[in-house]
A and B are shown apart, each in its own frame.
Chain A
Amino acid sequence: MSGSNLHPGLNLGARHGSAHEGAETVVFGFWIFLMSDLVIFGLVFASYLTVANPLGMAGGPGPADAFDLRSIFVQTMILLTSSLTFGFATLALRHEKGRTVIAGWLGVTLLLGLAFLTLELRDFAHMIEVGAVPQRSGFWSAFWGLVPLHGLHVALGCLWIAVMLAQMALLGLVPVVKTRLLRLGLFWHFLDLIWVAIFSIVYLGGLMP
């Protein structure tokens, strides 16, 4: 990339003027916030791993009794695709394709996020049905502390997308809206990253014979 990059990740570029310069501080700050959030997830993962064993399951159901890998795979694909569509939205922002295009890609991302949440909630309902509830064992407590925490982040991300769609409509593509979209993008891709870890460690790891 060129020397005009002011912060890690996709930059708006010099032709965006004050939005590009203003992004230096706020996007840097958001990266630092994400580091802090990553520490939270790391610790919850670590707690999960310490109880992902027969002692932690305390005679209750295990992963094989409650996980539905087919549904998880579909969720994974949906979330990865939503990251791709958000990427298109950011590119449309950088290359000034106009509000409609950006809003279109954001709308698709929002729908994918909601689809992911719907499937996840269906999975959770199934788990409650088979008795894989947090009150049953330390293992399920850790699971319900970890995976819904990611789900909560996705829900907040969806709310954020909705707010940004409203702001784009009301305020137009003013600099502060542009830098917020950049930060929202980082947040959305970050959620994908966490999900990849959840998919690998919790679901694939849990179902490994």
Chain B
Amino acid sequence: MTDPIFGRLDLSSLSVWRAFQDPSLSELIGAGAAMAVILGALATLALLTWIRLWGPLWRDWLTSVDHKRIGIMYCALALIMLARGVIEGVLMRTQQAFGLHGGFLTPDHFSELFSTHGTIMIFFVAMPFIAGVINYVMPLQIGARDMAFPVMNQISLGLTATGAALVMISLVLGEFSTGGWANYPPYTGADFQPGPGPDYWIWSIVLAGIGTTLSGINFAVTIYKERAPGMHFLRMPIFCWTVICTSIIMIFALPPLTVAALMLAADRYLDFHFFTNDLGGNMMNYVNLFWLFGHPEVYLLVIPAYGVFSEVISTYSGKRIYGYMSMVYATMSIAVLSFCVWLHHFFTMGQSANINAAFGIASMAIAVPTGVKIYNWLATIFRGRVRMTVPMIYATGFFYLFVIGGLTGVMLANPVISYQVHNTLFLVAHFHNVIIPGVLFGLLAGYHYWFPKAFGFRLHEGWGRAAALLWIVGFSFTFLPLYWLGLQGMPRRSASFGDPSFQPMLWLALFGGMLILAALGSLMLQLWVSIRNRVQLAVPLGDPWNGRSLEWSIPSPPPAYNFALLPQVLDRDDFAEAKASGRAYAEPAVYEDIEMPDNTAIGMIVCVCSTLMGLALVFWIWWLAVLSLGVMVVSLIGRTFRTDLSHVIPAAQIAAEHRAWLARVRAAPAVDRLAETHDRNRGRAMPERPFAAGAAE
């Protein structure tokens, strides 16, 4: 029987206690990570108290419903989790480099590492980073004041943070699943893993997944209903098109994950037989449900990154994106095809050859629209005025490396080849090869590109270049050797191995891992240096890169209401066209009052309650689970009884702020593209040449 108050939580749940009992290196590493989490949390709390930031943090951030602030908080969450994910990755590289007949980690600890690494990198790095960039950029690009549902947006962030918190807590209390990021039953069922590990996975995924579904609804409705006058669908920046596709995937592909995880929960908690070995359970249902989510998921991740690259390449080449319509069609095709290929994740699990062939062909077909995009980007660069800024370095790395990853994907889409290399490091190399150069490089490019918009100063260029090059070279050293190892037959997810011929390549991969660690360090240093030099790097006038879309037509950082007057859009790349024709920075004849939603604590209530609920469910503390769910439901319903939930910003205040900014813009010298990364750049760009010159199309 479990304790009525503490459930199955006891002293042995503490990983520090376990290390005390059994001070092996493997346990000590686990305990060290737990201590890092605890000390990190305590240090943060102490620091916030020390510099008296609780009030501003609560008022300006945690209770904010402003899409820009929510976006920044998503990105901050992603970067924190990225640090843990990278460290785990390097730890695994180290274990394997010394893993001939052993190594220093126990197999179970190694399995926990690849499970948390995968779960964190997908759900708590890539997803929040994408949600953050979309949140920040998309409403500005379509000329909206906020998301369609600002409060729901805050709740989505709260639920995502809950999932991340549960994974972090699993370092301290209990342990995480050893079943990989896909968490396949029956291995993760109650028979084989009775402990709290898979339950952590289930509740962090379910709660964060619900948040993501709500985000998808929010993004889609915002684009469908909140575009500025004249912003027709075919005038939207390509990034917004990728957001539509991604939100459609969020709406349709997250439910299978929720269903699969909740069915697994029913198996584990209530002795159901959805996926058990006995009594008519069918684990293939799980595999199908999971990948029905899992494959669209990878396109959910990479499609917005394509959107970022489209914006970045077009801006830094000083040209319209080449082949706008074909970009739109290609993005849509990828989104639709992403739902037709899930079976290629388990070619070897017993379907007939014909089914495998059909899914193999569908998978290869995705290479066609992807190729269209690559050629469009290359054609955009062709004869453009290219500046090799940090985002362009990432884009260049993306071109070379992503194409390799895509081609190995086409290889794996062939069931015959899949039979040979499945479950080897070849596969590990392939998916890292698409996700890091595709998703991560895209997001980092976006981070550098839009950072000045969000904070009013540029990121330090030198450290940014160092980080970008380290990422590119570090990635290549880490993952390209894994192709070779996979072809030699080294299985994935193995803590140790017996064939000494694997060793040289594993050492090479470890060297790459060190470079990636250095890349992460450079990113942190860059942020530190940039904040210190924020006065020299300031670009408050809003347009440091000679931008083309609406977000560059407003101050940096933008006011809470985004646009003093909603823009009237006349063209694709409207701001570039406005600068060329001289209608940019015009003063509106009349300003109007703007109604904005009030701050609310509901997102934090949901976040805290759902974290407690998840923890209670993991440790069978039933009273706490019921209590926290109850508080959450009552607060959500209680809020609907209030009707005074917005405030009005008077037209006079808006007029004063806008006129002051316009005056500074007119007074500032326009900076040409050679001085883009110099201190002279204050965010007023000099128009380069007549818009839509012959070579541009």
Contact = CB atoms under 8 A, between A and B. Distances in A.
A and B from one complex: yes
Interface of A: 24-25, 28-29, 32-33, 35-37, 39-40, 43-44, 47, 50-51, 55-58, 60, 134-142, 144-145, 163, 166-167, 170-171, 174, 176, 180
Contacts of A170: 641
Contact of A134 (B216, B224, B270): B270
Given A39-B255, A50-B285, A135-B272, A145 B280 contact: no
B349 interface: no
B280 A29 contact: no
Interface of B: 148-149, 213, 216-218, 220-221, 224-226, 251-252, 254-256, 258-259, 263, 266-267, 270-274, 276, 278-282, 285, 289, 292, 637, 640-641, 643
A186 to B, nearest CB: 14
B221 A40 contact: no
Nearest to A174: B643
B465 to A, nearest CB: 42
Given A28-B221, A36-B251, A145 B274 contact: yes
B653 to A, nearest CB: 24
Contact of A43 (B149, B225, B259, B272): B259
A29 B643 contact: no
Nearest to A180: B640
Q: Which 8 A-B pairs have the closest CB atoms?
A: A138-B280, A58-B280, A141-B272, A56-B280, A39-B255, A29-B221, A137-B280, A58-B279
12 contacts: A25-B148, A29-B221, A36-B254, A37-B255, A39-B251, A43-B289, A60-B280, A136-B279, A139-B280, A145-B266, A145-B272, A167-B640
Nearest to B258: A40
Given A29-B149, A40-B258, A47-B263, A137 B641 contact: no
B251 A35 contact: yes
A166 B638 CA distance: 11
Contacts of A142: 274
Contacts of B224: 28
Contacts of B259: 40, 43-44, 47
Contacts, number: 108
A134 B273 contact: yes
A113 B63 CA distance: 37
From A32, A33, A144, name the one whose CB has the most chain B CB atoms within 10 angstroms. A32
A25 B226 contact: yes
Nearest to A171: B643
A109 to B, nearest CB: 19
Contacts of A43: 255-256, 259, 289, 292
Interface of B is mostly: helix
Nearest to B281: A138
Nearest to B272: A141
Nearest to B218: A29
Interface of A is mostly: helix
A32 B217 contact: yes
A145 B267 CA distance: 11
A26 B38 CA distance: 42
Contact of A36 (B252, B274, B276): B252
A32 B251 contact: yes
B258 A167 contact: no
Contacts of B637: 163
A140 B276 CA distance: 13
Nearest to A137: B280
B643 A36 contact: no
B355 to A, nearest CB: 15
Nearest to B280: A138
Contacts of A135: 270-273
Contacts of B641: 166-167, 170-171
Given A25-B226, A141-B281, A171-B641, 12 more contacts: A25-B221, A29-B149, A37-B255, A44-B259, A47-B259, A58-B280, A60-B279, A135-B271, A135-B273, A138-B276, A138-B279, A170-B641
Contacts of A28: 221, 224-225
Nearest to A166: B641
A137 B273 contact: yes
A36 B257 CA distance: 12
A32 B643 contact: no
Contact of A25 (B225, B251, B272): B225
Given A36-B255, A39-B256, A56-B282, A47 B274 contact: yes
From A44, A50, A139, A142, name the one whose CB has the most chain B CB atoms within 10 angstroms. A142
Contacts of B218: 29
Contact of B280 (A33, A39, A44, A55): A55
Contacts of B640: 163, 167, 180
Contacts of B285: 47, 50-51
A51 B149 contact: no
Nearest to A25: B225
A47 B288 CA distance: 10
B255 A138 contact: no
B454 to A, nearest CB: 26
B279 A137 contact: yes
A36 B213 contact: yes
A134 B272 contact: yes
Given A36-B213, A134-B266, A141 B251 contact: no
A134 B267 CA distance: 9
Contacts of B279: 58, 60, 136-138
B143 to A, nearest CB: 16
Nearest to A134: B272
A207 to B, nearest CB: 19
Contacts of A171: 641, 643
Contacts of A138: 273-274, 276, 279-282
A36 B271 CA distance: 27
Contacts of A44: 259
Contacts of A145: 263, 266, 272, 274
A167 B270 CA distance: 37
Contacts of A36: 213, 216-217, 251-252, 254-255
B221 A176 contact: no
Nearest to A140: B273
